[in-house]
Amino acid sequence: MKLGTEGYSPRRLQKIEYAEANEGSFEQGSRALRVLAELPISAKHVQRITERLGEERRRQRDAEVAAMKTGTLKPTYPNPPQVAAIHLDAGKLQLREEDGKPGVREPRWADSKVACFLTYTAREGNPDPQPNPPAVFLDPPRVMRLCKEMERVRSQPAALARVDEGTATSVDGGTRTSHRTSGTAGAYGGGDVGAHGAFRLDGLCGSDATRRGFYEALKKADLGDGGNWIGPLADLHFPGWTQVLDFLHLLVHLYAAATAAYAEDAKAAWRLYERWLRCAWAGEVKPLLASLEEEGRRLGKPPPRAKESDPRRIVSKTLDYIKTNEPRMDYARYRREGLPITSAAVESLIKQFNQPVKGTEKFWNKGGAESVLQIRAAYLSEDDRSDRFHEHRPRGQAVGRNRGKLAA
């Protein structure tokens, strides 16, 4: 049975971990184990074992980061990919004060940083494979639906057509050959979100990129939504890689600005959005900026305390967003080179990471959140890390009431 001091065989430990990684809570994991594995185990014991295994996975991750920094970490894949892309985003979860007392005190929202690793087949030839925007980006109801789904545009002009049941799709320049995901197990709150949290993701991204051979790829890119932590991370750990602004986030900003600029004229708003979208799709940033500046002058500068819904504020923020990300918007070139232009994959991955940790009733200490996220990353990743861990794991000490006792 290979029983360790936890009192469970390696296979049962893996089932316990799997249940928690794929259920919404420790209680749900406990119920799933009782019904599906005929394993009576309390939710609290599921939590203890999950946090123990997650902490062990975190230490393995940190050892890989240390090996990367010393140059001893080697790629585990025989050949590097033709095109490598790292998609970056951040999720949310709630932390609480860690003083050991029961109850929730000083709750606060924090970030969980996630990276999605994708490989693509390189394109041959110079022509843009799709010089015109996809039809879905030029269909009013579906654009409205897309913007609502991305939670950027909160209210829509009533004059535009009602949203249908279609789902917007995205188009990338390359052909995806495999989908390899990896997530950070870092959850950070308070004043260290931007610095300490980003550093922990840096190390994980760098070690995973090394292990997957991404640094040796013919073409390399990193994609994000324009968050202020993504550019510095890429500059530090991926110098020389092509930085790409996710086109879908840009689209939502353009739509918000156009509908704000002509809130009383839906047809004029749509014409403006379509003109901006075509400029952006072609990578023609200069005329896009000029048109936004013209609308800004027409509306006037937003007052210092303007509401978020003030059209002047929306147009001004969109203008600043594009000015900041102008070097990451050469979409026609990215498509010609076979690089992706959307980070839709990591948007989906964020939702999967949120499943076990995000909720109005869930409050974590930092160590517990990091353990659960690390396990979630293992089971979402399309490599053998989830199984390999248990195959080579030494038996640990007991947890709970039986700690310190040896298993029979």
Name beta bridge partners: 120: 83, 176
- What is d(CA 36, CA 53) in angstroms, rounded to the nearest whole number? 21
The DSSP symbol for 212 reads T
pLDDT in single tens digits along all 408 residues of the chain: 444 456 788 888 999 999 988 888 889 999 999 999 999 999 999 998 988 898 998 898 889 889 998 999 999 888 899 999 999 988 888 888 776 677 777 888 888 888 889 999 888 778 999 999 999 999 999 999 999 888 643 333 333 322 222 222 233 444 444 434 444 333 322 222 222 223 346 577 888 899 889 999 999 999 999 988 899 889 988 999 999 999 999 999 999 999 999 999 999 999 999 999 999 999 999 999 999 999 999 999 999 999 999 999 999 999 999 999 999 999 999 999 999 999 888 888 888 888 888 877 788 877 788 888 888 888 888 888 888 888 888 765 545 444 444 333
How far out from the chain centre does Cα 397 lie?
Answer: 34
The answer to whether the CB of 375 falls within 8 A of the CB of 61 is no
The pair of structure tokens assigned to 38 is: 């005929």
- The torsion of the CA quartet 368, 371, 372, 377, rounded to 10 degrees, works out to 160
CA angle at 127 for the pair 125 and 129, rounded to the nearest 5°: 100
CB neighbour list of residue 124: distance below 8 Å, 6 or more residues apart? none
Residue 197: predicted pLDDT:
29
Name beta bridge partners: 224: 245
Residue 385: predicted pLDDT:
83
Domain ranges of the chain: 10-122+173-245+343-402, 135-169+247-336
DSSP, collapsed to helix, strand or coil, labels residue 309 as coil
- What is d(CA 9, CA 49) in angstroms, rounded to the nearest whole number? 13
Give the N- to C-terminal CA distance of the chain in Å, as an integer. 11
- Which of 28, 73, 91 is closest to 203 using CA atoms? 73
* Whole-angstrom Cα Rg for the chain: 24
